[in-house]
Amino acid sequence: MQGALARLTDLLYYYIDTLMRALHVDASDSTPIWSQIEEGLRRLVATGALAPGAAVPSVRDLARELAINPATVAKAYQRLAEAGVLTVRRGEGTYVADSPPAMGREKRHRALAEGAVRYASLAATLGATSSESADELKAAWKRLRGPRGEDQ
């Protein structure tokens, strides 16, 4: 039994270590840390690095690994749970939702429009052209979804 527990512990630490390398949090960034965690986890789910039904580290474990306040992680997890990206199973832990969050067409359109304005504002402040911005968006789709990007 101790061997199995030790192996499980090793797997947990490997999983958390792997997740930590993929989840970047920069305390010097003006973006709130909870938002960086939220966006990082969304990216990991979108790319398939965190598969549907996969367990995510506990609030305490993630906070300890990132050396931040657990309340910060809890806020990110709560927002992701409310958005339907994560599912909390009482007494078991927090998991990636089995399917993408159900979102009505109007709500999805509104969320995409808000994100597009943020992206366009960033591109404009960097002096990028709309063509450059569109190229970067297409490249981001390919990175997230593979070579067929937009078709999936």
Task: For residues 3 and 113, give the distance between their C-alpha atoms in angstroms, rounded to a whole number.
Answer: 52
Q: Which of 60, 51, 65, 83 is nearest to 23 (CA)?
A: 65
Based on the domain organization, do 50 and 119 belong to the same domain? Answer: no
Q: What is the CB neighbour count within 10 angstroms for residue 80?
A: 23
| Cα–Cα–Cα angle for 21, 63, 140, rounded to 5 degrees | 40
Domain that holds residue 126: 105-151
Average pLDDT over residues 93-101: 87
Based on the domain organization, do 13 and 81 belong to the same domain? Answer: yes
Average pLDDT over residues 125-137: 91
- pLDDT on residue 35: 94
Show Cβ contacts of residue 80 under 8 Å, excluding neighbours closer than 6 positions: 38, 41, 42, 86
DSSP 29: S
Find the range with the poorest average confidence among 16-25, 92-101, 119-128: 16-25
- pLDDT on residue 97: 94
Based on the domain organization, do 25 and 83 belong to the same domain? Answer: yes
Which pLDDT tens digit goes with each residue over 30-87? Answer: 999 999 999 889 888 887 788 899 999 999 999 998 999 999 999 999 999 999 999 9
Average pLDDT over residues 124-149: 83
Tell me which H or E stretch contains 56.
Answer: strand 55-56
- pLDDT on residue 98: 92
Based on the domain organization, do 6 and 71 belong to the same domain? Answer: yes
pLDDT surpassing 70 at residue 5: no
Start-to-end Cα distance in the chain = 44
Rg of the chain over Cα atoms, rounded to whole angstroms, equals 18
pLDDT surpassing 90 at residue 144: no
